[in-house]
Amino acid sequence: MGRSTLFTTLVLCVLAVHCSADGVFWHVTDFHYDFTYLDGAENGTICDSQTAGQPTPNDPGEWGDYICDAPWRLINDTVYAMKAIQPNPDFIIWTGDDTPHIYNDKMNTDVVLTIIGNLTDLLRSVFPNTQVYPVFGNHDYHPKHQMPPAPNTVYNATWNMWNVPSWLPSDVMNTFVNGAYYTVLISPGLRLVGLNTVYYYTNDKVTAPTDDNTDPAGQFAWLEGVLQQAQTDNEKVFLIGHVPPGFFERSKGKSWFYPEYNRRYLQIVARYADVIKGQFFAHQHLDSFRLFYDDQGRAVNSMLLAPAVTPWMTTLGGVGANNPGIRLVSYDKTTGDLTDVNQYYSNLALANMQGSPLWGHEYSLKQAFNLPDASPASLQNLLDSFSNSSSDNFEKYYLYNSVSHDRSTCEGDCKVAQLCAIKEVDYDKYQECIDAPSSGANVARVSMFIPFVVAAFALAA
Ligand SMILES: *[C@@H]1O[C@H](CO)[C@@H](O)[C@H](O)[C@H]1NC(C)=O
Ligand SMILES: *[C@@H]1O[C@H](CO)[C@@H](O)[C@H](O)[C@H]1NC(C)=O
Ligand SMILES: *[C@@H]1O[C@H](CO)[C@@H](O)[C@H](O)[C@H]1NC(C)=O
Ligand SMILES: *[C@@H]1O[C@H](CO)[C@@H](O)[C@H](O)[C@H]1NC(C)=O
Ligand SMILES: *[C@@H]1O[C@H](CO)[C@@H](O)[C@H](O)[C@H]1NC(C)=O
Ligand SMILES: [Zn+2]
Ligand SMILES: [Zn+2]
């Protein structure tokens, strides 16, 4: 920083105008580009990403369809919308799943690489000078999900696309081509770690844990080393990844990680809770968050799950489709503290009717829920308010969960699944939460102690 810039910054800070510590970055994810969109329209199918058993789209639109993955027109428009809304973010995180949900026999490694290349080119041309940090999703490999914990053509070819100015620096080549993970210091005192959590996904059969294989590509040991060093150096860390630990809030009992890997991930977050300032993940295509606790039951960390660009309706029962979404995260550049999340979206049904997507602001976490910031403590207060019958916070959260697509209400089992997924990333504790007779009404951890307090008094008396 030059002297005059520093001086200006200090003056602005003293005047309590905008301190330059206010940072902002885009999180965009799950494009799932379906290059066949509308190809077969005359025969009743409009996209290869329409899965057996799904209803037939009745009015496939120019900008996409809730039954299908994203057409190029929507993808292109999404990235231009990011540019129109915030052209100068500090950086962009892009957390994977680039290819469509189509059967393996219609895919091959060249198609995967072509699509990764198309999206890389688009982001580079629209944001030529912006720093971009990408990671892989489970659809960025052929056969899908089967990512090997070893060097391969996809890592090699993608490295050549991403090792360009403003993207991945040459000094992360070793970890990238061997395991597709890396770390970069993004500003003084703030470090980003790009993880390949596809290895922990139960659909990745080549990384299933065994007695001899407990750490695919050595990523856990490496991560612990990075966090330990960050702690020593007084740095704060953002973790980014695709497949999240814990449970899917819209599908009771559905988890993603192998149990052993879920445990290990949780242990690492607990141990370095003061170093990790944010976890930004995706894969579920929906908007949600997770809390992580210390031994006293205090929320000490959180994970923000960003919704997808693709509107694709999953075949998982009861989950449904979503509107395309993009998110801007606000943070303090010096402390790494998260200050707000602003979610933008396009109502796809309306876009097709109007002939243009019209991106709009969906909500600000701070404003919608009246929170001071996006810290773990604030998210804990938000979760507590979901059980307050005089608050409409849960109804708002549930609408935003599908990016304002599903306007139904969520009560009973539906609500229990939502609350327990947010609260318990640990598999045993999640099950206890689901089984608890009061889980729908009382999610605050402290409320679980009330019966014990009452019992203790009863005994004392
Ligand atoms: C529609 O089906 C007919 C008959 O199977 C086939 O010849 C034609 O190529 C199909 N059209 C498209 C666009 O897939
Ligand atoms: C992408 O979007 C931009 C901005 O709206 C537009 O100028 C351009 O023609 C679009 N390109 C494609 C291929 O749709
Ligand atoms: C994707 O890349 C391939 C190979 O470079 C190119 O032929 C194709 O036109 C690209 N598609 C889009 C939508 O840019
Ligand atoms: C990756 O690229 C390096 C350097 O070009 C080459 O030596 C290696 O054999 C490649 N590995 C694979 C699996 O393609
Ligand atoms: C429940 O929500 C209402 C309305 O927002 C609020 O006034 C009240 O303080 C809340 N109760 C608790 C226990 O937080
Ligand atoms: Zn996805
Ligand atoms: Zn995924």
Can you tell me the distance from the alpha carbon of 342 to that of 364, in angstroms, rounded to the nearest whole number? 4
Tell me how far the alpha carbon of residue 287 lies from the centroid of ligand 7, in angstroms. 14
In this prediction, residue 442 carries a pLDDT of 47
In this prediction, residue 59 carries a pLDDT of 66
Q: Is the bond into 71 cis (omega within 30 degrees of 0)?
A: no
Ligand 5 atom nearest 393 alpha carbon: 5
In this prediction, residue 284 carries a pLDDT of 98
Can you tell me the distance from the alpha carbon of 105 to that of 110, in angstroms, rounded to the nearest whole number? 13
Tell me how far the alpha carbon of residue 63 lies from the centroid of ligand 5, in angstroms. 41
The protein residue with its alpha carbon nearest to ligand 4, atom 3, reads 156
Residue 453 inside a domain? The answer is no
Residue 242, annotated ligand binder? Answer: yes
Q: Rg (Cα) of the chain, in Å, rounded?
A: 22
Q: Which two tokens stand for residue 185?
A: 């210091």
The protein residue with its alpha carbon nearest to ligand 3, atom 5, reads 114
User: CB within 6 Å of ligand 3 — which residues?
Assistant: 72, 114, 117-118
Tell me how far the alpha carbon of residue 43 lies from the centroid of ligand 1, in angstroms. 6
CATH number at residue 343: 3.60.21.10
Per-residue pLDDT of the chain (461 residues; tens, 9 = 90+): 344 443 444 444 444 444 558 999 999 999 999 999 987 777 677 888 888 778 777 668 899 999 999 999 999 999 999 999 999 999 999 999 999 999 999 999 999 999 999 999 999 999 999 999 999 999 999 999 999 999 999 999 999 999 999 999 999 999 999 999 999 999 999 999 999 999 999 999 999 999 999 999 999 999 999 999 999 999 999 999 999 999 999 999 999 999 999 999 999 999 999 999 999 999 999 999 999 999 999 999 999 999 999 999 998 888 999 999 999 999 999 999 999 999 999 999 999 999 889 999 999 999 999 999 999 999 999 999 999 999 999 999 999 999 999 999 999 999 999 999 999 999 999 999 999 977 654 444 444 433 333 333 333 33
Report yes or no: 167 and 134 within 8 Å, Cβ to Cβ: yes
Tell me how far the alpha carbon of residue 222 lies from the centroid of ligand 2, in angstroms. 41
Residue 97, annotated ligand binder? Answer: yes
User: CB within 6 Å of ligand 4 — which residues?
Assistant: 151-153, 156
Report yes or no: 41 and 63 within 8 Å, Cβ to Cβ: no
Residue 448 inside a domain? The answer is no
Tell me how far the alpha carbon of residue 255 lies from the centroid of ligand 3, in angstroms. 35
Any ligand 5 atom below 6 A from CB of 388: yes
Residue 451 inside a domain? The answer is no
Report yes or no: 117 and 99 within 8 Å, Cβ to Cβ: no
Residue 449 inside a domain? The answer is no
Q: What is the pTM of this model?
A: 0.91
Report yes or no: 311 and 65 within 8 Å, Cβ to Cβ: yes
Residue 285, annotated ligand binder? Answer: yes
Can you tell me the distance from the alpha carbon of 373 to that of 392, in angstroms, rounded to the nearest whole number? 19
Residue 179 inside a domain? The answer is yes
What are the start-end ranges of the H helices in 278-390?
348-354, 365-369, 376-385
Residue 138, annotated ligand binder? Answer: yes
Ligand 3 atom nearest 114 alpha carbon: 2
Any ligand 1 atom below 6 A from CB of 42: yes
Q: What is the DSSP letter of 360?
A: E
Residue 371 inside a domain? The answer is yes
Q: Which two tokens stand for residue 63?
A: 């900008």
Residue 60 inside a domain? The answer is yes
Q: Which two tokens stand for residue 260?
A: 């052993």
Tell me how far the alpha carbon of residue 207 lies from the centroid of ligand 6, in angstroms. 20
Q: Which two tokens stand for residue 47?
A: 């996209």
Can you tell me the distance from the alpha carbon of 111 to that of 101, in angstroms, rounded to the nearest whole number? 13
Mutate to test the pocket of ligand 1, among 36, 42, 48 (most ligand atoms within 8 A of CB): 42
Give the CA distances from residue 387 to residues 132, 226, 420, in Å, rounded to whole numbers and listed in that order: 39, 38, 12
Residue tagged 């950086």 (tokens): 91
Mutate to test the pocket of ligand 2, among 80, 85, 119, 122 (most ligand atoms within 8 A of CB): 80
In this prediction, residue 10 carries a pLDDT of 42
Tell me how far the alpha carbon of residue 153 lies from the centroid of ligand 3, in angstroms. 19
User: How many domains, in total, are found in the chain?
Assistant: 1
Residue 27, annotated ligand binder? Answer: no
In this prediction, residue 9 carries a pLDDT of 41
In this prediction, residue 34 carries a pLDDT of 95
SS in 3 state form for 306-368?
CCCCCCCCCCCCCCCCCCCEEEEEEEECCCCCEEEEEEEECCHHHHHHHCCCCCEEEEEHHHH
Mutate to test the pocket of ligand 5, among 370, 380, 386, 391 (most ligand atoms within 8 A of CB): 391
Of 284, 276, 335, 328, give the one whose Cα is nearest residue 302: 276
Per the structure, the complete domain to which residue 413 belongs is given by 3-442
